[in-house]
Structure formats: C-alpha cells, structure tokens
Amino acid sequence: MQSAFEGLARSASERLARSAFEVRLTGVASSMAMSCDHPDLLPLEEALRRLWDALPAPSLPELRADRDDPATDRASMDGVALRAAEGRSPRQLLGTLYAGSDPAAFTVLPGTAVRIMTGAALPAGADAIVPVEQLETAETTVRPTATPEAGDHVRVRGDQARRGDLLLPAGTPLSAARMGLRAQEGAPVPPLTRIRVGIASTGDELVADPAPHQIRDSNGPMLAALAHSLGAEATLRPALPDDPPALAAALQSTQGIRILLTSGGVSMGDHDHLPAVLRELGATILFHKIRLKPGKPMLAALLGDLLILGLPGNPVSAYVNGLLFLSQALARLEGRAAPDPWRRGRLLGPVKNKGDRPLLHPCRLVEGRLEPLPGKGSADLVTLGHADAFAWIDQGGLETGAKTRYLAIL
C-alpha cells in the first residue's frame, strides 16, 4: 500500500491534482478552524451521545411468548414427585422421569411416587416435589423426612409467561440473556459477528528504523490490541501519509471495514489534513474537539457507511479516546445497550488540574484505590504502560481521599 502512495506522489498528474485539491482545502480548513476553535468545547457526554445517535443499530422486532413458560408443571429440584396430602407416609417408587421424558408414562396414585430430575415434567396425580435431601430411600420405597405441601419445588405452568405475552418490545438492545430468550421462543437469533475495525496511524515521521527525528508507530499496535480487547475484528493497516490526495485515496479504499481508527492529523498543525480531507470528500463531521484532557482534538465522522474515529496522535490521548468512543460505537452497531465504562474509587494522593478541561490522570490501582502516577503529558507512553486506570479530575484538582470515577485500562 505504501508503494502505491509513493507512486502517487511521483506521478505528474497527481501533483497537479494535489495542487487543485489543496486549493479547495484552504477554504474548508479555514472555516473548520473557526468552528473547531470555539471556546465552548463539546462535553464528553454530548460527543458520546452524538456518536450513538448517528449510528444505526440492528432493528429487532418485538418478541412474544410462543407458548406458556413453562409449558407444563416441572420439577425445580431432584427428588420424588408425590401427593402432598399423604404427608410423610412411605411410597412405592414407580420409576424415574428425566428432563425431556414423557410424563404420560406414569400416574401417581395414593401410596406411590416417581423419582424425578430437575426440569422434568410432573406426572399426573403429583402435586409436590420432595428433594433428595429430605428422603429416606430403600430399594423400591421412599419416605419423606419433612412434611410436603402442595406446590413444593414445582415450577407451575405459565408462571414465567403466558402464550402471547410481550417479552421484549421492538428495538430492545441485545444481550446474551436476550439472545437466549429469543432462542427459547423459537425466534430468529442474530448471527454472532465481529465489527471489522481498521487501524491506521498518520504521519510521514513513522518509520520502522527511526533516526532521532523520527519515531516508530506505537499507536497502531496499541489501538489494534485495544480494538481486539473490545471484541472487534481488528486489522492494522499501513500508516497514512501527510498528503491530502493520497490520504483521500486511502480513506476511499477501506476494504470492507466498518470503522476506521486513525491517530494523528486532527489538530491544528500544517500536516493535520484529516478534517479538511473528510469535508472535501463529503463526510458528515459528527464532532471535532471535545472538552477533555488529554484528547481535545478528537474527531468523529461518517463517510458513507464508514465511521472514522480520528484520534489525537499522542499515545495517551489516542488510547483514552479509543477506549471511550470505540466501545460506544461497537455497542451501537452490534445492537447492545450503551456501555458504562466508569467505576468509582478513592485517590491515594492529590492531583492538581490547573486547566479548564476535565483531566483523566493515569493511576495505579492499589487494593481498589487510585494511586496517582507522575505523568508527563499525553505523549508519555511509559507512564501509560505502568497505569491501570485513568482518574477523572475536575478543574482545580482533587485531594487525597477524594472519591472520583475512573476508567479501567484494558
């Protein structure tokens, strides 16, 4: 893919196209700068809401019970099925019923009982189950050691739902339990698929064997691992170039991915082309720049069906925003409920926040408490590698012992 980029850069016709493209981008970039530098940055919660609302979720029809649940009286424990009115008197054992056995094979008459397993249908004549632990058994007889009452340990027909009952309204988010419920009612079960996520860093400074003025691509592997941890089918793609036409070509050659995670190219530098290129391609910008530190330059856009999450280039910023926004997007596209990644804990030390944005500060988790680490900014991958969580610090900071919410690092 990189060789194609190099060929594109050498092409005379592409050089002409680049000139025209950059002229068009000048106006787009200046108009975006006016809107994106507005002092009222978008709050994190609003950015997450916009992303959620912009993405389609699988639409499931309502689910109704196709029969009574349970469809007949069933045993809720292993034991014997008998007539409760006969108290603790001995009974003659007629046989055994297992889950799935036809109960018509037996009729419980006075002085008799049937051994029964959990989930098996109750035979005619029985109205109670005496558990194994409350029985004295001989070879062919059984005697309760506790007085049974009618209905003991019996799941009565229809006690969970009656045929035709509404079990799930249309559009209810999916969960593992709801998948099981749909299967129980004979409704179609959505296939278990993974959302395909491509990961591509941006920047001509990314090389495999860097000189002092260059760097290796650490964001790509980090974000691919994060996407994998969140349940996506993650594919690490070649780095995107600092070149508008080549960047535009790469954004339109997505090879079937549903989400593209980029890092870098979304701030205010001369080579931060991604926002303007997306505008030129007709993408819908959901938001650009949020009230969060680190992670202010965060961008989300829709280019057709492709969701582009433009993460900042500094690794701590990229990780924080990837954790927050990719988990939201995956849940929406898979039809799950919106995730709540926040936990709560107390600080083992003070953290200052002199800025006007909420700060996510790296911490270690020590017996459920947050030990602040001496982070050195959003480029500090070393500290990120030692951290277990990000503590939410409001403007002004928090003192030792203060309780705050935090994000656990995956």
pLDDT computed for residue 255 by the predictor: 82
* CATH code of the domain covering residue 370: 2.40.340.10
What is the pLDDT, as a whole number, of residue 16? 32
Res 17: pLDDT: 41
If asked whether residues 229 and 329 sit together in one domain, one would say yes
Q: For 156, list phi and psi in degrees, rounded to 5.
A: -75, 145
Do 199 and 310 belong together in one domain?
Answer: yes
pLDDT in the model for residue 271: 59
Same domain for 205 and 289?
yes
Q: Which of 303, 334, 365 is the last residue of a domain?
A: 334
User: Residue 80: beta bridge partners?
Assistant: 115, 130
Give me the number of domains the chain comprises: 4
d(CA 98, CA 105): 12
Residue 329 sits in the same domain as residue 207: yes
Name the strand (E) or helix (H) holding 342. Answer: strand 342-346
- 307 and 399, same structural domain? no
Tokens linked to 179: 């998948």
Do 52 and 197 fall within a single domain?
A: yes
Helix runs in 230-373, H state only: 244-251, 274-280, 315-321, 327-334
Domain boundary residue, one of 310, 334, 358:
334
Looking at the DSSP bridge assignments, the partners of residue 406 are: 343, 391
- My answer on whether 364 and 400 are in the same domain is yes
CATH at residue 103? 2.170.190.11
CA angle, 271 as apex, 277 and 258 as ends, to 5°? Answer: 45
The angle subtended at Cα 192 by Cα 186 and Cα 193, nearest 5°, is 150
329/297 Cα distance (integer angstroms): 18
Same domain, 93 and 45: no
**Are 277 and 305 contained in the same domain?**
yes
Amino acid letter at 395? Q
Q: DSSP alpha helices (H): ranges in 115-273?
A: 176-184, 219-229, 244-251
Tell me the C-alpha distance between 206 and 2, whole Å: 12
Check residue 351 and give its pLDDT: 97
CATH code assigned at 290: 3.40.980.10
Which residue, of 334, 355, 383, is where some domain finishes? 334
Residue 152 and residue 258: Cα distance in Å, rounded?
A: 53
- Do 211 and 286 fall within a single domain? yes
Q: Are 234 and 224 in contact (CB under 8 A)?
A: yes
| Domain boundaries, position 356 | 343-408
Q: Are residues 92 and 215 in the same domain?
A: no
Which of 254, 270, 332 lies closest to 262 in space, CA to CA? Answer: 254
Q: What's the Rg (C-alpha) of the chain?
A: 31
Please answer whether residues 301 and 278 qualify as being in contact, where contact means their C-beta atoms are separated by less than 8 angstroms: yes
Cα–Cα distance measured from residue 221 to residue 274, given in angstroms and rounded to the nearest whole number: 20
CA dihedral 228, 232, 238, 241 (to 10 degrees): -110
Are 199 and 223 within 8 A, CB to CB?
yes
pTM of full prediction above 0.85: no
- pLDDT of res. 116: 98
- Going residue by residue through the chain (410 aa), what tens digit of pLDDT does each one get? 343 333 333 333 343 344 444 434 444 433 333 333 445 799 999 999 999 999 998 888 999 999 999 999 999 999 999 999 999 999 999 999 999 999 999 999 999 999 999 999 999 999 999 999 999 999 899 999 999 999 999 999 999 999 999 999 998 998 899 999 999 999 998 888 899 999 998 876 777 778 888 777 788 999 999 999 999 999 998 888 788 888 898 888 888 899 999 998 887 666 578 899 999 999 999 999 999 999 999 999 999 999 999 999 899 999 999 999 999 999 999 999 999 999 999 999 999 999 899 999 999 999 999 999 997 889 899 999 999 999 999 999 999 999 999 999 99
Are 285 and 366 contained in the same domain?
Answer: no
For residue 310, the one-letter residue type is G
